[in-house]
Structure 1
Amino acid sequence: MTAQPAPELTAEHWPAPRADSEVGPLRAVLLHRPGAELKRLTPRNNDQLLFDSIPWVGRAQEEHDAFADVLRARGADVLLLSDALVTALGDERAHAAAASTAVDHRRLGNELAEALASYLSTVDASALADVLMAGMTFEELPAAEGASLVRRMHHPHDFVVYPLPNLLFTRDSSVWIADRVAIASLAMPARTRETALLDLIYAYHPRFRTAGRAYGAHSAPVEGGDVLLLGPGVLAIGVGERTTPAGAESLARSVFSDGLAHTVLAVPIAQDRATMHLDTVCTMVDRDAVVMYPAVRDTLQAYPLRPDGIDGVRVDGPVPFLEAAATAMGIDRLRVIDTGLDPVTAEREQWDDGNNTLAVAPGVVVAYERNVETNARLEEAGIEVLRIGGSELGTGRGGPRCMSCPITRLPV
């Protein structure tokens, strides 16, 4: 039996945005329910759009609804990105800015770009949001006066506005650090336009208008899946396929300047698809515990960054990650729960997002049901596991943590 949706909260009842850890009781979260953007995926474009296969969209929606129900049942207010975007676009300034973000003058040429911009300026907030998320083909763009070589040389089903199927993974595009939000700078071309949508939501949705920013989206690449809030004032930032050393240092300088952290651990990870973010190999499941891919347990290193003077940063290391994390957190050691009982099982379950858990409270996590061995080991270690289906949601390589951007967590 699925949980009933929680009543929609009014403005005066919205919990104040703030997240100081990965495990504090979750009270508000941003999700994106899979939509028409996933129906744009074909065998011809799924690699370009960062999906490993073509998802069954109806089943993905069912799985996501069940995920949202689990979070609501545990006391979280679920804000859907599509609803938040439509609300933000109700502001005329946001509508005008959004229309311009969808128009690529270099690719379309001036005449076709102007025709697209003109059309988008006339549609309502809901229709504009649909185009921004699901894209638009040349066939769907209303005809413009005059000839267009660009239009004639493209197939009708080619995209005049590319879809954003990776919106599903809301953790990557923004992350809350204390009471400020960091808009990510996404590395992959298929995802760069997501930044503009999150920027609009946080600027124009009434829930966030007073929220401060922690990081500029136009800085060096940093993705939220690489950012772990190990505890108040302590961040770990994975550096690999999606987040660059310059991005990690830029975010560190920003949080030091704003007084949001005293230590940032830059953690090098393998630059490949299986370990695209730090949260694909390690996530927190309790105040002092992580679930970790055993292949990296003894080799994962960290460069501790700390403030040095007014604007400087001191870089130390490298040192073992687990040791550096415990020191920064002020605890004797981090408990480590390995995934899998043997190298083959561990590798399979890491690929299937066994390490990508979402804590809804200390010692309580949401995980994909298919990671049987990992979930069993979590429960043996005293962690409560809330299992969800993910056969279709996981086709874009992301688990419960990837699919959620916590807005509000209570202190631990």
Structure 2
Amino acid sequence: MLSVNSEIGALKKVIIHRPDDGIARISPKKAVELLFDDIVHLPQMKEEHEVFRRVLQYVIGEDNVLDTERLIEEGLDASPEIKEELIDKVIEYEELPPSNKEFFMSLDANALMKLLITGYHQDEDHIYFDPIPNFIFTRDIAVTIKDHIIITKAAKMARYRENLLARFIFYAHPFFKNLSKEDRIINLNHLDKFPPSKRGEIVSLEGGDVMMVNDDFVFIGCSERTTEYAIESVKKVLFEKGLVNNIAQINIPNDRSCMHIDTLFTIINHNDIVCYKPTIYDGVSSNVIVYRKDGSEAVYDSVKSFFLHEINPNANFIFSGHGVSPYQEREQWTDGCNLVALRPGIAISYDRNPKTDMALVDAGYTIIHARDFIRDVEAGKINPDEMTNTIIALPSNELSRARGGSHCMTCPIVRTTI
């Protein structure tokens, strides 16, 4: 059912979250607290995300683009006991009066789903708790490693309710029911299995720091959001389960501008990596430690060196901003390195990084705007199955303000095997 063994195998099923109405209630002061970088115009953001969703649907099929709202709603209907557990956990975490439970339990699945995501009940005109604006970045809530799923654990408490909802989806929804029965869920929130260290370090790992690259390698970034202790904890389980033989710990600066490794590089084709040159190619403030199942280790002074020696000697690095300052810094900030591959050579970017687009064109890619892609598919001028070496550029005036690109906005759960 679940199957991901690369970053570029043809995408067959993916989880996304449409921008929800809770985002419209975020004030400038709250934005900082909720880890949202700007105040967005929600109608425009929804429109841009709808373009994104339609691109995905035209390439992989409408039934294969799974929306979190529908998954949660269907899970609430299908699993009453787990629904009650979720309500109990949310009430406890949000420090609500226990008397609210009866009201929450009385809501139909659709109304409860909206309340759990937005924090607001429209009929009551009652704000129960803060929204979770970063839920649009479904990459962070879970990672598929072959036929297993890692339910991640966010570094910041502002994202804790996202985590509760992710757990609910994978335990309660009928589509994922067998995962738990077959011991294919690696739940980092299970404190008996993933306890704090003897020095009090907690397990903190977000999906933007994890890449399933090939049958033998998982990359995990050690970053602002993912700790070395978390990597050690996950490494042990992945080796014990025989899922991979090598885990590459990619150390990057502990900085907001590069909070996960997928803000610094993503793989879009068999040989092509879009990346931020100073950190990934030059190795500034970065290195790689490879841990092997047999207990041996290797250290590389840059991601470039590691890629060429361990992953692909023919790797081609395409630089954000064409590798020139100040454009490389500007375009890394606006997610020029954060692309999701729909299959080898077909990827989604933002339309606001012209120097990166030039670098992609120089590397042999065609850039097409997402709206033009949709128009031409609907007119029969483009067959998505026949495209090669194409970057589909999303409208991004508002989406980019949230500080995450197409890679961040997707949680792939099925790709073809490479």
Normalised TM-score (structure 2): 0.85
The percentage of aligned residue pairs carrying the same residue is 31
Question: Is the aligned partner of 1:78 residue 2:70?
Answer: no
Output the CA distance in 1 between the equivalents of 2:255 and 2:117. Answer: 27
Tell me which of 24, 42, 45 is aligned to 2:30: 45
Question: Is the aligned partner of 1:193 residue 2:161?
Answer: yes
Tell me which of 43, 52, 70 is aligned to 1:67: 52
**Equivalence for 1:401:** 407
Output the CA distance in 2 between the equivalents of 1:140 and 1:124. Answer: 14
Structure 1, residues 144-186: CA drift from partner, whole Å, max 9, x if none?
xxxxxxxxxxxxxxx6422111110000010111011100010
Output the CA distance in 2 between the equivalents of 1:175 and 1:208. Answer: 14
C-alpha displacement of 1:326: 3.9
- Give the counterpart letter for 2:155 in structure 1: A
Output the CA distance in 1 between the equivalents of 2:250 and 2:72. Answer: 33
Structure 1, residues 1-60: CA drift from partner, whole Å, max 9, x if none?
xxxxxxxxxxxxxxx321110000111110000111211211221111111211111111
Structure 1, residues 99-119: CA drift from partner, whole Å, max 9, x if none?
1121136x74xxx52122222
C-alpha displacement of 1:382: 2.4
Question: Is the aligned partner of 1:346 residue 2:328?
Answer: yes
Question: Is the aligned partner of 1:133 residue 2:117?
Answer: yes
Question: Is the aligned partner of 1:87 residue 2:74?
Answer: yes
Structure 1, residues 337-365: CA drift from partner, whole Å, max 9, x if none?
11113210000000000000010010111
Structure 1, residues 308-328: CA drift from partner, whole Å, max 9, x if none?
3xxxx5444254322323443
Tell me which of 130, 134, 137 is aligned to 1:162: 130
Tell me which of 209, 213, 217 is aligned to 2:189: 217
**Equivalence for 2:395:** 389
Residue 406 of structure 2 aligns to a residue whose secondary structure is coil
CA contact (8 A) 2:300 2:306 kept: no
Tell me which of 305, 318, 325 is aligned to 2:291: 305
- Give the counterpart letter for 1:360 in structure 2: L
C-alpha displacement of 1:140: 5.0
The equivalences for 1:280-295 within 5 A come to 280-295=263-278
CA contact (8 A) 1:214 1:258 kept: no
Output the CA distance in 1 between the equivalents of 2:214 and 2:187. Answer: 19
Question: Is the aligned partner of 1:24 residue 2:9?
Answer: yes
Structure 2, gaps ≥5 residues long: 195-202, 366-389
**Equivalence for 2:375:** none
CA contact (8 A) 1:101 1:193 kept: no
Residue 221 of structure 1 aligns to a residue whose secondary structure is coil
CA contact (8 A) 2:115 2:121 kept: no
**Equivalence for 2:210:** 227
Question: Is the aligned partner of 1:258 residue 2:241?
Answer: yes
Residue 174 of structure 2 aligns to a residue whose secondary structure is coil
- Give the counterpart letter for 1:67 in structure 2: F
Residue 51 of structure 1 aligns to a residue whose secondary structure is coil
Structure 1, residues 206-252: CA drift from partner, whole Å, max 9, x if none?
11111221343344111000011222221111111100001111121
| Cα distance change on mapping 1:348 and 1:124 into 2, 3 Å | same
**Equivalence for 2:91:** 103
Deviates more, 1:178-187 or 1:50-59: 50-59
| Cα distance change on mapping 1:304 and 1:261 into 2, 3 Å | same
Output the CA distance in 2 between the equivalents of 1:382 and 1:251. Answer: 38
C-alpha displacement of 1:125: 1.4
Normalised TM-score (structure 1): 0.86
Output the CA distance in 2 between the equivalents of 1:250 and 1:233. Answer: 18
Residue 62 of structure 1 aligns to a residue whose secondary structure is helix
| Cα distance change on mapping 1:263 and 1:327 into 2, 3 Å | farther
Output the CA distance in 1 between the equivalents of 2:122 and 2:354. Answer: 45
Deviates more, 1:179-188 or 1:160-169: 160-169
The equivalences for 1:235-254 within 5 A come to 235-254=218-237
Structure 1, residues 277-314: CA drift from partner, whole Å, max 9, x if none?
00000100112221110111211310101113xxxx54
Tell me which of 353, 361, 377 is aligned to 2:359: 377
**Equivalence for 1:277:** 260
| Cα distance change on mapping 1:248 and 1:140 into 2, 3 Å | farther
- Give the counterpart letter for 2:80 in structure 1: E
More helix by share: 2
Output the CA distance in 1 between the equivalents of 2:3 and 2:57. Answer: 18
**Equivalence for 2:143:** 175
Residue 18 of structure 2 aligns to a residue whose secondary structure is coil
**Equivalence for 1:117:** 101
| Cα distance change on mapping 1:115 and 1:138 into 2, 3 Å | farther
Matched pairs, number? 372
Output the CA distance in 1 between the equivalents of 2:392 and 2:82. Answer: 38
Structure 1, residues 371-405: CA drift from partner, whole Å, max 9, x if none?
11112211321241111111111222100000000
**Equivalence for 2:341:** 359
Output the CA distance in 2 between the equivalents of 1:326 and 1:203. Answer: 39
Residue 232 of structure 2 aligns to a residue whose secondary structure is helix
C-alpha displacement of 1:136: 3.7
CA contact (8 A) 1:138 1:160 kept: no
CA contact (8 A) 2:155 2:204 kept: yes
CA contact (8 A) 1:177 1:214 kept: no
